[in-house]
Structure 1
Amino acid sequence: MLCFSAWMRRRVCVTGYMFILLSNEIFLKGVILDCGRLIISTWGNPAFWKSFKYRVREDAGVVESCTTLEPILRFFGDAGKRTKVFLVVLDSLMDWKDCKDRGEGRYSKCCVCYAECYKGIDFTRIEDYEGLLKINEGLLRCVLDCLGIKGDIDVVVGPALGSPGGEWRFSGPHSSTDFMTVTLHVLGREILCNCYDEIILDLSHGVNFMPSEVMILAQMLASLALLKHEVSEVVVRALNSDPSTKSGEPLNINTIYENAFSLIIMPEFPKHLLKTSNRRLENLRKKTNEIMHYVKKTIKTIYYPLPLALLELCRSSEYPNLINSLEEVMNEWIKETHVSLEEKSVTHDFGIDPRAVYYSLLAHGACEIARNVRPTLNGLKEINEKIYVNVNKAYQYIISNEVSQIETRKEKIKNCIRLSELYGIQGSGTPNERILIAHAGLQSDLIEVCSEGSDLSLKYIKEINLNDMLSRLKLP
């Protein structure tokens, strides 16, 4: 699969059954797991920032800088752990010109760097929204180089709302959620590619909705890491600095939130991926509805839990590549965003529900695991430990009990037999919601068990249509 580590740039992330190839290193899956630290730093406009003395912790040294990222990188970047930084900015970053005295008798380095980098912007190159994104990313990278901030740093350019810089105006029918959608799309793919068990949020420079939305976003990222990389917990820590003062005393960079996530969150399932009433986009709406049809079925098998249904669904040749489908929709969102240099405006034609992006990424991650697990008794044990233990701790015991019930009767299975016959009970052969949920999808009169060497294979009987069965179950 391709791992998008920045909005407009690609890094190759190859995942397979035996090896994971990441950042020029090879890890044998299940033997070496190099889980790193992800730092997400929200930036408004550096042109407004003063220089201060910062301190991450009482026993840490003081770093003078015009940005909290520099002391945070010095404190966390040298701790012997792989550290990746994503700088999240708004597409209004280029909406500023002058570098003014910040009231301290001199210009801050952030302001000077921004002003110098701004001179290099060629606005005539902005022919469309993709060009505007590149301008903003290039501007920020120039500022980073000027400040001398180095490391494994990528940039995410998210959509602004209103007129943060005073000249350009940014709008759209659903702009309030587009920022989370774009950021989640980029960072979610990074999480699926690379293992992180620690997420640090640097919120000091975030403006408007950025800090609050990134706080929500971090919970989704932690869930994706729990699903994909079999970590027991993901620690999320949010940092924010003291208010600025004129005393010259060091400003503390405080931990304002910390939590260890060990369960995958399951927010309300959205009605649609696309948010628009524009009839011109009807074909795109139909395509996204098809995507969400598969996503919804997959999430049902995770939510209830239905491990055998998950294996059969994901191993089907008809199952689409959700990441590629999601990428196509995001590209359409860029194409359908209109930029006017004369009016200095950016207008988005439609929105994308961030919950739909999250569930698409979650479903994709689950199916990547499920495709490499055979629908056998041992396969159910494996998928239980890899996925369901992180959804609900009770699921581990429910699935284990169902597996144990079959395992204790293993000697009686010579060829193929219906599970209800093995148990000596009768059934209607019709899916029953209560029984499906209570028995982890293994309703005995719907399951056929076959001897397969030292293992047992399981499948739903041919009379059962998986789509019809899953349609009986509702998501909250």
Structure 2
Amino acid sequence: MEIWRHAALLSSTVAVCRIARRTAMGTKSLYLATWGNPLEWLAVEYQCGGGERRSGFASVVCAEADRYVVYVLDSVITASGGGQGRPPNRDAVEAARSAGLSVDEKDGRVAISPPQCEGWRRYVREYIGALARRAGVEASVVATAAVGRLGGRLYRGTPDLVLSELIHGLWREVEALGPPSGQLRIAVDVTHGVNFMPTVALWAARLIASLALAAGYEKAVVQAYNATPGEWHYVKVYSEEVTHIQFPRPPARPAPRALYYGAPLHYAHLCREEAEPPDPTRHPQCNGAEVHYPTPHVKPLDLYEAILTKAACPQTPPTLRQLMQWHLVKALAPTARRVVEHELNNIANRAQAINKCTKLADLLPYAADDPQPCRDDNRNFVAHAGLLASHTTICPHGDDHQLIIDIEKTKPCLEK
């Protein structure tokens, strides 16, 4: 069942397209709406806050953002609406026609379907894009696989494929906002999402916020909005500030594990060895009344880690001064960040005394020699931000210094 299914029947002749606006100075904003079956939406007037009322067939009429994104299941073009004295959403019907979908109207009920299986996702994007324009916004469309029996068809998608496609699509939308800077605000409007869509969207939004911090945003905020039934107040129901990179599980690959353990210099070396994140998109394939999807080659958290690996990967390893100023260090978990800052400050305080390449074991008075690191555990590795005294050399580098780590000797520390 659709959550609080509703919306206003708004004629396209009065829908005025709004230009996306920044919500605040230094803030970039992404609006993400989950849309279920627009054919079923009814006419309401939304109370958008501050005494302002706006009519529209979706709660997006209350939103202001730099970029609008609508998330739908690709089953949306096999839906039906109306009947039993309840008219279908005429804007949705006309948007379906304009997208080239087959439209069957009978006894006040409307059913839509793709004219062919080829180009299924294109039909989805054109239908939902046209409908968003009728609501007054220019929106990108992220479509994912569907799961279950919908619109007379059995969809053979999987939860892993749904989440992978959503993460991939949303990250592309964040990249489209331009170079990361300042704050990123992600507003997730779950008013119209069906069954699992709001949950998946909120989970994906938190991961995207984490990736945004790694990429260079100073702060990321995830907020959820909904419209209360009957009164249609558009209200914020959840808000979270994502302050550091998230690790839903211990990472599987060496580069993100370096961030997990607070070893940014190891990350800077290892991230360049990793492949670019794969595209998990799997287009629908029709088999009678069943819709199949090729088996995905990546799990959602593997994809998240692959994007994280490349989100902040530098072209060359940073110098000591660059490490001390690196935004990625600030995006680490609080304890890891403090450890990294402490180690780098200690090294910087003593680095001015050297005029040749020197091992940290010879530079730092407290350093202990450890010729075979991490034989039993990696506590020493973590406690020193990966900069093991016996396996890290500091060299003068112009008016700065370069830290050189023995990757081969210390890489096993990331496997503990």
The bucket for the TM-score relative to the shorter chain is 0.7 to 0.9
Q: Secondary structure at the match of 2:210?
A: helix
Give 1:458's match in structure 2, choosing from 381, 397, 403.
403
The alignment status of 1:339 with 2:339, answered yes or no, reads: no
Q: Secondary structure at the match of 2:79?
A: coil
1:426-466, Cα deviation, whole Å (9 max, x unpaired):
513222322111011111111111122321211024xx51x
Distance 1:346-1:230 versus aligned 2 partners, 3 A rule: same
TM-superposed CA distance for 1:52, in Å, is 0.7
TM-superposed CA distance for 1:299, in Å, is 0.7
Q: Secondary structure at the match of 1:302?
A: helix
Q: Distance in 2 between the 1:267 and 1:402 partners?
A: 26
Q: Which residue matches 1:63?
A: 54
Q: Distance in 2 between the 1:62 and 1:209 partners?
A: 29
CA contact (8 A) 2:274 2:309 kept: no
Q: Secondary structure at the match of 1:451?
A: strand
CA contact (8 A) 2:228 2:234 kept: yes
The alignment status of 1:242 with 2:228, answered yes or no, reads: yes
TM-superposed CA distance for 1:155, in Å, is 0.5
Q: Which residue matches 1:50?
A: 42
Give 2:384's match in structure 1, choosing from 436, 439, 447.
439
Q: Distance in 2 between the 1:96 and 1:213 partners?
A: 21
Give 2:148's match in structure 1, choosing from 145, 159, 162.
162
Q: Secondary structure at the match of 1:431?
A: coil
Q: Distance in 2 between the 1:426 and 1:303 partners?
A: 24
Q: Distance in 2 between the 1:212 and 1:420 partners?
A: 50
TM-superposed CA distance for 1:400, in Å, is 2.2
1:395-441, Cα deviation, whole Å (9 max, x unpaired):
33322221222223224312112111223555132223221110111
- Give the partner amino acid of 2:220: V
Q: Distance in 2 between the 1:95 and 1:123 partners?
A: 7
Q: Please list, as runs of the form range in 1=range in 2, the aligned pairs for 1:301-380 lying within 5 A after superposition.
A: 301-314=258-271, 316=272, 319-323=273-277, 326-327=278-279, 330=280, 333-334=282-283, 338-340=285-287, 343-351=288-296, 352-367=298-313, 370-371=314-315, 374-380=317-323
Distance 1:253-1:422 versus aligned 2 partners, 3 A rule: same
Question: Which stretches in structure 1 are left out of the alignment for 5+ residues?
Answer: 1-32, 78-82, 272-295
Q: Secondary structure at the match of 2:31?
A: strand
Q: Distance in 2 between the 1:426 and 1:143 partners?
A: 66
Give 2:136's match in structure 1, choosing from 142, 149, 172.
149
- Counting aligned pairs with the same residue, the percent is 23
Q: Secondary structure at the match of 1:144?
A: helix
Q: Distance in 2 between the 1:107 and 1:416 partners?
A: 75
1:231-269, Cα deviation, whole Å (9 max, x unpaired):
1x22211111112x4xxxx42122111122212211114
Q: Which residue matches 1:11?
A: none
Q: Which residue matches 1:132?
A: 120
TM-superposed CA distance for 1:115, in Å, is 5.8
Question: Which stretches in structure 2 are left out of the alignment for 5+ residues?
Answer: 1-24, 103-112
Q: Which has the higher helix share?
A: 1
TM-superposed CA distance for 1:193, in Å, is 4.9
Distance 1:119-1:96 versus aligned 2 partners, 3 A rule: farther
Distance 1:200-1:401 versus aligned 2 partners, 3 A rule: same
Q: Distance in 1 between the 2:351 and 2:123 partners?
A: 64
CA-atom RMSD, angstroms?
2.5
TM-score by length of 2: 0.82
Q: Distance in 2 between the 1:48 and 1:403 partners?
A: 59
CA contact (8 A) 2:58 2:135 kept: no
Q: Distance in 2 between the 1:157 and 1:108 partners?
A: 21
Q: Please list, as runs of the form range in 1=range in 2, the aligned pairs for 1:368-447 lying within 5 A after superposition.
A: 370-371=314-315, 374-383=317-326, 386-424=327-365, 427-432=369-374, 433-447=378-392
Distance 1:115-1:84 versus aligned 2 partners, 3 A rule: closer
Give 1:40's match in structure 2, choosing from 28, 32, 39.
32
Q: Secondary structure at the match of 2:122?
A: helix
Q: Distance in 1 between the 2:147 and 2:68 partners?
A: 24
- Give the partner amino acid of 1:304: Y
CA contact (8 A) 1:418 1:444 kept: yes
Q: Distance in 2 between the 1:192 and 1:140 partners?
A: 21
- Give the partner amino acid of 2:153: W
CA contact (8 A) 2:391 2:410 kept: no
Q: Distance in 1 between the 2:84 and 2:29 partners?
A: 34
Q: How many residues are matched?
A: 373
CA contact (8 A) 1:419 1:449 kept: yes
